[in-house]
Structure 1
Amino acid sequence: MRCPRILLPALALALVVLSAAPAAGQGEEVPAGRGFGARFLQALIDGVQFGVIIAITAVGLSLVFGTIHLINFAHGEFVTIGATFAFFLNASPAGPGWHLIPAAAAAVLFGALMGAAVDRGLWRPLRARGTGLINLFIVTIGLSLLLRHIVLVLYGTRPASFAQYDIQEAIDLGPVGITPRDLTVTLLSILVLLGVAALLQRTRIGTAVRAVSVNRDLAEASGIDVQRVVLVVWMFGGALAALGGVFFGLVEIITWDMGFKLLLLMFAGIILGGLGSAYGAMVGSLVIGIVAQVSTLWFPVDLQYAWALLVLIVVLLVRPQGILGRRERVG
């Protein structure tokens, strides 16, 4: 039945809406003197950039839900930890002062190891004891609070930025402009998403992940090591979350609660695209990012997330399974 699968993420969205604050705007501002067409194109480019970053962080969250039906409320903290770990290696006075590229690679590796540690040390024992999904969901909220305040103690409340690629002049592309940093982040994000799609479609582990997502019991009966697949999904999700955190901190700014603020849009993209579908998470996140940025042409920036969620509500009223979700029989 579809309704219970939508009820839990809807609850997560409600919890986040009550406490999440909108982040700063994305991309380059277009002077007010330019025409509406130029401002629309600029907002569209900014929306694509924002959307692909959300998609990178949301794919892992969607895969975890698809394989074990767990809504990981702590996924936003994985994003924050990836960004702050890279910052420590790159720009912190107490860090080694690495260049951003190796620092980002180390953060991705750390995110994968963190995902593996959380699965082996927490979720696997709880699943073995037969803990219910509601109880697991509550545990993810507690884990989120724990990790967020650990980051707060270690990192502090002061916003910061990476040492490289901080201030750049925009490249004029006709009526729009984009900095080399933002263009690189957007292109890299698109390449990563294409790589994820290729991994899921053309590799044995990708086929196993899709099989477990469709029918866990049948996949296990077919000889697939479900526990290994779940471990790989957690590692993959942690690595993507860390990478998304580095990208988001690069185009915006690094704060101790940046992942928690982004979590609202991750959930929106996943539900909009279709629960448990990695491709749906990509499409839904892109739509959310574009709507959030284009809405600023008519409405205040503080409302950009509200309009994105309005699109989510409308789509769910018309197509409850999401854009790429499959309709299921009831009864």
Structure 2
Amino acid sequence: MRRAVIIFTAVLGFLFTSLGFGATSALAEGESLQGTLINAGQPVAGVVIKVADEGGTSVGEATSTADGKWSVAVPGAGTYKVDLDTATLPQGVVVTTGRSSLTLSVFEGAARNVLFPLGPAAGAPGTEEPEESGSSTASRVADLVYTGIHFGLIIALAALGLSLIFGTMGLTNFAHGELVTFGALACFLLNVTVGLPLELAAVLAVILGGAFGYFQDRFFWGWLRNRRTGLIGMMIISIGVALILRYLYLFFFRGDTQQYTKYVAQPGMDLGLIQVAPKNLVMDAIAILVLVIVSLALVKTRLGKATRAVATNPSLAAASGISVDSVIRLVWTLGGALAALSGVMLALFQGVNYQMGFQILLLVFAAVTLGGLGTAWGALLGSMVVGLATQLSTLWIPTELKNVGALFVLIVIILIRPQGILGRRERIG
């Protein structure tokens, strides 16, 4: 048995290594720096962006288009300096962070997004008086709080599925991020390539995500489980599955960051201290509704009670007449659908990219661990903490390091409460 697991893991390692080298070499010309300039919910056109390499040699420049987008192709992976020409900004508009020059790394085959947050200059026509700096600070804090909640809800959808899979199987699934990416790419394929309306494409992508989760367990994880493969071996296998899927996404969808056909640069609604795009409010409502329904179903329905029974003690659940395999398969289906919905929403938030799920996977794990492994409500609470910590940390640290804030909060809480906020210190049975 152990020999079979070792051989299978070695085969997976060979496959993802081969696919990785092949895909990255085939897409070596796809590296670029890109972004979208938005001020008060409106795209900003005519702004010049210049890119240079580490030695100061100019690589290229671009001017933002009518939809605020710009892109500069770079010769390969490496570190580049990106300068926004502030003289080309509209009158009264500035880079709110004061950093019009950024140094960023670009990886092979990837398009790196560059963020220049824009806003009104202090004392500009139509803005508050300079003495009202406290109002400006309050507005920024309020905006970060809302963004943290919005991002936390997106993470919560993925974290809930991951927590349920861990609770029923005990599997730490490193391929869960690829389920998130699958949902975003499926929606992109249906919306942009096939031409379906975005709303219909999103619904179908969630259904496809559920089907993807079902077939994964039906023909792969279920087979390993029946072969009594150990959890450590399955965890290592999940890393190989994640790498294979990620490079397959890269091979077929390339490394560029793409957008859906609708809701790319939507004007914001004035809600007092903050401006919020209507699409974000709709996504928040859908996420809250889905999370509440799933959480209540786990408590109120027979299937939910069966799921909790399997999570607590699979042997006792089986002895009570519960089909453990059927419950785990249902959990995989639900987890795949939730991850796909998370991917669709994340793509609306930041664009579609082959490694978008991988980029938030660490935060999803942090949310699940912070809330308490295997607990649904803990995953929701942990996601909110992670989302808020990620965004609010930018008040003190550079935006590029914002994930550090969430991980710091995770470390502090786990040191105080090792089982997580809502986790149990000891599992009985």
What's the TM-score once normalised by structure 1's chain length? 0.89
1:57 aligns with 2:158: yes
String of CA shifts for 1:289-308, please: whole Å, max 9, x gaps. 00100111121111110110
Matched, 1:323 2:424: no
Per-residue CA distance 1:192-222 (angstroms, 9 max, x = gap): 1111112111111111111111111111111
The structure having more radius of gyration, on CA atoms, is 2
Aligned to 1:138, which of 214, 230, 236? Answer: 236
C-alpha distance 73-216 of structure 1, shift in aligned 2 (>3 A): same
Matched, 1:124 2:216: no
Query: For 2:427 and 2:292, how far apart are their aligned partners in 1?
Result: 32
Tell me, yes or no, if the aligned pair for 1:170 and 1:180 is still in contact at 8 Å.
Answer: yes
Displacement of 1:35 in angstroms is 2.0
Aligned residue in 1 for 2:389? 291
Residue equivalent to 1:68: 169
Corresponding letter in the other structure for 2:139 = A
1:32: how far off? 6.9
| Corresponding residue of 2:58 | none
Q: Tell me, in whole angstroms, the C-alpha distance in 1 between the residues paired with 2:294 and 2:399.
A: 32
Q: 1:299 to 1:226 in 2, by over 3 A?
A: same
Q: Work out whether 1:252 is the aligned partner of 2:350.
A: yes
Q: Distance in 2 between matches of 1:258 and 1:179?
A: 21
Q: CA deviation at 1:31?
A: 5.1
In 1: Cα distance, 2:404 partner to 2:385 partner: 14
Alignment of 1:38-187 (within 5 A): 38-91=139-192, 95-187=193-285
Give the structure with the larger helix fraction: 1
Comparing 281-290 with 33-42, greater Cα deviation is found at 33-42
Deviations 1:240-295 (A, max 9, x none): 00010000001111101000001010000000000011111110011000010011
| CA–CA distance in structure 1, aligned partners of residues 182 and 120 of structure 2 | 35
Contact 1:30 1:176 in 2 (8 A): no
Cross-structure match for 1:237: 335
Counterpart-to-counterpart distance in 2, 1:132 and 1:61: 19
Instruction: With a CA cutoff of 8 Å and minimum separation of 6, indicate the structure with the bigger relative contact order.
Output: 1
CA distance in 1, matches of 2:366, 2:247: 24
Cα deviation, 1:19-55, whole Å, max 9, x if unaligned, reads x99x9699x8765745211111110000000000000
Matches within 5 A, 1:269-280: 269-280=367-378
Question: Could you say what secondary structure the match of 2:275 adopts?
Answer: strand
Give distance in 1, aligned partners of 2:365 and 2:427.
24
CA change 1:122–1:292 in 2 (3 A) is same
Matches of 1:199 and 1:102 in 2, distance apart?
25
Alignment check: 8 A CA contact 1:30 1:39 kept: no
What do the CA deviations read for 1:103-160 (whole angstroms, capped 9, x no partner)? 0111111111111111011111111111111110010011001111111111111110
Identical amino acids, percent of aligned pairs: 47
CA shift at 1:68, angstroms? 0.6
* Counterpart Cα distance in 2 of 1:291 and 1:31: 26
- Point out the structure with the larger strand share: 2
Specify which of 195, 217, 239 is matched with residue 293 of structure 2.
195
Counterpart CA distance in 2 for 1:25 and 1:44 is 22
Which piece of structure 1 moves more, 217-226 or 56-65? 217-226
> How big is each residue's C-alpha offset from its partner over 1:74-116, in whole Å with a ceiling of 9 and x where there is no partner?
010011011011001101xxx2200111101111111111111
Letter in 1 for 2:320: S
2:326 aligns with one of 228, 232, 236: 228
- Unaligned runs of 5+ residues in structure 1 are 1-19
Q: Secondary structure of the residue that 2:140 maps to in structure 1?
A: helix
Tell me if the contact between 2:312 and 2:427 (Cα under 8 Å) persists in the aligned partners.
no
8 Å contact kept, 1:52–1:285: yes
Task: Figure out how many residues of one structure are paired with residues of the other and give that number.
Answer: 306
* Cα distance in 1 for residues equivalent to 2:362 and 2:236: 17
1:17 maps to what in 2?
A: none
Q: For the Cα contact (< 8 Å) 1:181–1:251, is it kept in 2?
A: no
1:261 to 359, 363, 373: 359
Aligned counterparts of 1:50 and 1:235: Cα–Cα separation in 2: 23
TM-score, normalising length from structure 2? 0.69
Return the offset for 1:167: 1.3
Aligned partner letter, 1:121: F
CA contact (8 A) 1:51 1:286 kept: yes
Which amino acid counterpart does residue 57 of structure 1 have in structure 2? A
Matched, 1:210 2:311: no
User: Is the Cα–Cα contact under 8 Å of residues 77 and 144 in structure 1 kept in the other structure?
Assistant: yes
Segments of 5+ residues of structure 2 without an aligned counterpart are 1-106, 123-134
